[in-house]
Structure 1
C-alpha cells in the first residue's frame, strides 16, 4: 500500500528526496504537495517534476497553510527540508496532527528546540527519521564493521579532520547559514554529520564537549588580510563581484537562477551575498574535544577554506590503528555539476595491527552518490527496507545526540567551559 507524502521547503536539498520518490519509488510513495514561504520556488519544483521527471505537478500551500495542507492531503509522512531554525515547528506540528516525519539534518539548531521535539515524540507516539546519508557510504559502513569486529580492539581515541574547500566551504558564508540563528553554525549544520558518524562508528554517545574557534578567514573583519579593499553586499548586479573568485553568478546557472534569483521578489532572500560582508556570525575555524560514555576521546577540527574537500580520520585502539582518508566532490548548492554531487575522488582505508604488517581494506562502491550509499538510504526511507546489521536508520534520538555535540560546542565557545550533554536536554530514555 502506498504511503502519502508532503514536503515542506522545496529548496536546494529537497530534490534529493522528491526526485527519488517520483523516479524510483512510485509503487510505495505518493507525493501530493509542497509547502513553502515562496510560491515561485514551489512552482519551480513542480516544473522539475513535470520537465525532468515526467510526472504531474503537486498541490502547493504557503507556509501559513501548513495545517490546512495536512487536513486536505492527509499525508502519512511529512518531509521537512526547510531552513534549519524552522525544522522543529513543522516536525512538532506534523506529529501533533498524526503524521510521522522525515527530516533533513540537522534535526534542529539548539537545546530548547531539541527538547521540544523529544517531548513531542513522547507525547504523540509518532516517529521522526533523520537522514544521515554518510552512515550509508560504503567506506563509513566498513569502518563501523572493522571496529565492531574488534580488528583494532577497544578504540580509545579518534582524531577527525574535515576539510571544506573554497567552493563548498565559502557557500555557507554566502547564504542563510551565515547567521547562527538560522543554522546553529557549522558545528550544528555541517558537523552534525561528522559527530553522528563518530557515534555510529563507536556505538556510543557523547558525554562532555569543549570547543574553540572563530571566524578567521571570511567576514568583513578578515577582508583586509585577504586583500579585499572593495565591498559589495551581493554579487548580482555588482561590478566589484566580477573580480571576486568567491562570488557566484546566479544568472549564469539556470538551476540557481530559477531556484533563487527568480524567487527573490517574494521573500527578498539573496543567495549570493559576499563572504567578506557584514552580518556573518558563524565560525569558519573550529576545534572540538569530546569524551564519550565508553571513555573514548575525540579531537575534531573543521576548516571551511581549504584547497581540497574531504576528511581524514584515525582510530587508535588497544590492538592497532585504522586510518581513512576520503576526498569528495563539492556540493551542488555552490554551483557545481549536480551529477558529480557526493562523488568520491579518492579514498584510502588502512589497518595497522599492533604487531603485524599494515594492510589496505578494499571497499566496494556502487552507483549513486556517496559511493552508492545514497540509494540505500533512499530505499530505507521510501522503498522496502532490507535487513540492516548496522542499524543505519537514524531516529530522533540519533538526531538529537548528533546535534547536541555541536550545540554543546556552541555553548562552550560562548563560555570557555566544557559542557556536559546531560545538562542540555532530557532524552527521555525508557
Structure 2
C-alpha cells in the first residue's frame, strides 16, 4: 500500500527534494496526491513535472479531498508553522524542510499541536545522512576523544551560493530567520547530534558587511539593472528554462522577484556571523558563518578529554581529484590516526538519497538516530533564534527562556 503525500510550497526545493523523487524513484511506496502553492503558476509547473499530480487552490480543501497521509511543507520558512499545525490538526503526519520554523513562539505552537494531535513531525536534516558526517558520529560514540569539551565549526558560503540568499526572500530576516536560522540550523543540528547534547546558552554577533547597500552601482533587480553588463553578481533569470517557468513567468501572480539585487536596500539578513554556545553538559561551541568566501565548505575540530578530531569538507581546486574525505584523530600518546572515508556521489554528499529511503519507509533501521523529529528541529533552530536575539539585545540568551 502506497503512502499518499501532498506538498505545500511548489518552489525549487519542494520540486527537487520531494516531488520529483516521489514521481521518479519511489512510486512503488509513495504517491503524490496533491500540490498547493499560493502561486498557481508554480504549482502547475510542479504538477507538469511530476505526472500531472492534482493541483489545489485551497490548502484545507487539499487536506480533505486528496486522501493525504503525510503533508510535506516546503514553503517560505515564515509560514511553516501555519501549514504544519493545520496538517496536524487534520490528522496528518508532517515532513517539513529545515528550519522547522523561524521563532520561539511558532516553535512552541508546533510542539503543542503535535502533542495534542498525536501525529508526528519529521524535520529533514540531510546532513546527518552524509556518510562522512556519520563517520565522525561513529568515532565520537566509540569514545575516540573521550568526553567532548569543546567544538569549533567554521562554515564558508562562497559568492555564488552565499550571494543567492540575498537575491531571494531569505534576504528578509523575518521571512527566514536569517542565515543563523535558515542555514545554520543544519550545522547546529549536526553538532547537537554528534554530541547527543542539548543547547543551553547562546551569545552571538552578526552584521551585514558584504551585501546590502555597500556599492554605488546597484539596482532593484538584475532583470532591469543598468549595471548588468559590469556586475559579477548579475543573474539572468530567463537563461535557465526552469527558473524562467517557476519564477519569471510567475511574477504576475504575487510580484515576487527571484533576482533581487544583492546590493539593494532593505536587506536585513546578516552575512557575517559569530556564535558562542554552551551545552547542558558544559561543552562549548564556537561557530562562524560567512556568506562571502572565495570557496565553500566547512572545517571542524572537536576537543575531548582523550584527544582531538579534525575534519573538513570544502570545494576548491586544492581538494579536486581526492577520492576520500579525511578524518584526523590525535590522541594524548602523541599519535595521529588518519581515516580515509570514500567520497559518496549524490546530492549533499549522498545524504539526500539516504534521507529519502528513511522518509519513504525503505529503510527503518536507525541505530545512529539520524531521523529527526520536532524536538531536534526545535533545538537546532532555537540556537539561531537565540543568536538573533543576542545580536539584537547584546546579551546571552538561554534556550530554556525560549522553550519555557
- Residues 1:316 and 2:303 are matched in the alignment: yes
Q: Deviations over 1:385-424 (max 9, x none)?
A: 2312101000000000000100000110111100010010
Matches within 5 A, 1:17-416: 17-49=18-50, 56-62=51-57, 65-220=58-213, 222-223=214-215, 229-328=216-315, 347-416=325-394
> Separation in 2 of the partners of 1:403 and 1:140?
19
How much does 1:344 deviate? 9.6
> Separation in 2 of the partners of 1:376 and 1:362?
21
- What secondary structure is seen at the aligned counterpart in 2 of 1:68? helix
> Separation in 1 of the partners of 2:348 and 2:66?
33
> Separation in 2 of the partners of 1:195 and 1:422?
17
> Separation in 2 of the partners of 1:177 and 1:344?
33
How much does 1:294 deviate? 1.2
Unmatched 5+ stretches in structure 1: 50-55, 224-228, 330-342
Q: Deviations over 1:196-242 (max 9, x none)?
A: 0010000001000000121111111x22xxxxx22210011323122
> Separation in 2 of the partners of 1:383 and 1:248?
39
> Separation in 2 of the partners of 1:251 and 1:369?
25
Contact 1:285–1:302 (8 Å) recurs in 2 = yes
Unmatched 5+ stretches in structure 2: none
Contact 2:181–2:385 (8 Å) recurs in 1 = yes
Give the corresponding residue for 2:8. 8
Which deviates more, 364-373 or 313-322? 364-373
Which deviates more, 19-28 or 193-202? 19-28
How much does 1:254 deviate? 1.4
Contact 1:327–1:344 (8 Å) recurs in 2 = no
How much does 1:345 deviate? 9.1
> Separation in 2 of the partners of 1:348 and 1:250?
38
Query: CA RMSD for the aligned pairs?
Result: 1.5
How much does 1:372 deviate? 2.1
How much does 1:352 deviate? 1.1
Which deviates more, 190-199 or 417-426? 417-426
Give the corresponding residue for 1:332. none
Contact 1:34–1:61 (8 Å) recurs in 2 = yes
- What secondary structure is seen at the aligned counterpart in 1 of 2:350? helix
- What secondary structure is seen at the aligned counterpart in 2 of 1:371? coil
> Separation in 1 of the partners of 2:388 and 2:217?
32
Structure 1 residues 344, 377: closer, same or farther in 2, change over 3 A? farther
Q: Runs in 1 of length 4+ with deviation above 4 angstroms?
A: 343-346
Number of residue-to-residue matches in the alignment: 399
Contact 2:202–2:390 (8 Å) recurs in 1 = yes
How much does 1:134 deviate? 0.3
> Separation in 2 of the partners of 1:348 and 1:163?
18
